[in-house]
Amino acid sequence: MSIPSDLDIAQAATLKPMDDVARQMDLPTEFLERHGTDVAKIELEAIEAMKDRPRAKYVVVTAITPTPLGEGKTTTTVGLGQAFSHIGKRGVVAIRQPSMGPTFGIKGGAAGGGYSQVVPMEKFNLHLTGDFHAVTSAHNMLSAVLDNHLYQGNAAGLDPYRVTWRRVLDVNDRALRNVVTGLGGRMDGVPRESGFDITSASEVMAVLALSNDLGELRQRLGRIVVGYTPDGDAVTAEDIHAAGSMAALMRDALKPNLMQTLENTPVLVHAGPFGNIATGNSSIVADRIGIHGGDFLVTEAGFGADMGAERFFNIKCRTSGMTPDAAVVVATVRALKVHSGNHKIVAGKDLPPALLEENPEEVHAGAANLRKQIENMRLHGVSPVVCINAFPTDHPSEHQAIREIAESMGARAAVSTHFADGGRGAAELAEAVAEAADEESHFQLLYPDDAPLREKIETIATKVYGADGVDYAPAANTSIDLYERNGFGNLPVCVAKTHLSISSDPKLLGAPTGWRMPVREVRASVGAGFIYPICGDMRTMPGLGKNPAAHHIDVKPDGTIVGLF
């Protein structure tokens, strides 16, 4: 039986009024700020009003190292949230808002898929309540104030060659990666090289995700470093008097968005930090509301467990003080077969026919990646459950192979058909997660705040990635010394690397050993509260492909949007 397109399924959904969705999570409706009939913002006063209610079990959904097509983390997150109602429990989902760049590019939207989606799909993937536009405006307000500061005499003593703040836009536009500003006459500003990143890569977006309340948001915005003086002293947004205006633009964006799944499970949608150079997790304020809204709060961490989950544990949980009760590691037959080294998947092209043939031995051959990601959960004291995300092209013997791999590591495993069957297809997974979450928690951070930056970087590289050590380029060493001299050494670390390998080399599959991690550059997101070493070439402004989704998205005369996927 063929399944309709995601958009067709979403547009056929029967939605509940937002008041009813809020009541499902015991959220008082007086805290809703309605945006039409099917989306609402939640006033932050709800955090205080709900704080004494029972605490839900906190579950993070992560994955093995994915193929370029992704392995269905968001779909699993939504499906699991729906599944709890099928086993007599109440689930709440918390996920990021997707960037419109990938939505109009080759990746598509991020509302889930099949019968495990967030709806309305069109609003979710496009403007929603304008949070991304607020981030874009606040970021570029700082850019404008910065350039005006240089023009008006540069009282802060910024070195124009050491300005680190760029501009952002929420589209894929490679032509803006490198620009020169201030061209024209004397009245048009100070000429200097700069560029654009995509809005998800903005430090303001990470600030939004990691702030506990409005006061903290304001403080974090003020701590954003925009550049350095010739002597190496940091200059902040507070120093050039931009932080207050930025906070005013971000005030309403700090309120989480309430939506629902196809089965009317409450979904908190908030923030969208990049998963390669930032945390890749939804907001703390959304979790502070959702944790008191049901029996289970299910949230997703971007990319594989070596990336999004490691940052969830060591940055988000460190900041929020909330600790997880269980983790779901999504695995697919196709990804483990790719990790065997026998197949290659290319985005936009058909799967290799040999990949679809029944071959449990190839699943076992790619098992090292799953084993390592299970180990990465246990490094942090979290009970892992392997979700075998079933595809129609899979074979039962291949699912059994994944079960055997999980069981050999002492982890629970469950086959889940949530894409085709919605919540009931993830009921076995929900039962396994409930069992894991009932186990005694032994959560631990990977490193202390006061460890030196190099020690933090090397701890992640050796313990999580399996590297033998770290090699620093001269520029990276210089930056680390600069940050520690400026008092940033107590910040956690967010390693920017490829998501296609546990290592820093996208060509290394499985769980590579015998390699060293090269750090070519180190940057600081002081307002967001982390240092990010860069390994390899990280694109912070994507480009459009030859046949992007933007060529196919359209709107009918009656207002119906078509072409989203």
What's the burial of 65, exposed, middle or buried (CB within 10 Å: 0-12/13-18/19+)? buried
Give the H or E element holding residue 32.
Answer: strand 32-34
Cβ 279 vs Cβ 530: under 8 Å: yes
Residues 6+ apart with CB under 8 A from 228: 158, 159, 162, 164, 234, 235, 482
DSSP summary character for residue 306: I
Looking at residue 269, its amino acid is V
Residues annotated within a binding site for ATP: 67-74
DSSP summary character for residue 551: G
Residues annotated within a binding site: 67-74
d(CA 138, CA 192) in angstroms, rounded, equals: 21
Q: What are phi and psi of 130, to 5 degrees?
A: 90, 10
């089965």: which residue's tokens?
Answer: 263
Mapped onto helix, strand or coil, the DSSP state of residue 168 is strand
d(CA 471, CA 465) in angstroms, rounded, equals: 14
d(CA 496, CA 536) in angstroms, rounded, equals: 8
Provide the 10 A C-beta neighbour count for residue 474.
8
Cβ 394 vs Cβ 333: under 8 Å: yes
DSSP summary character for residue 491: S
Beta bridge partners of 85: none
Q: Which of 238, 243, 229, 146 is nearest to 485 (CA)?
A: 229
Q: Two tokens at 24?
A: 């499902």
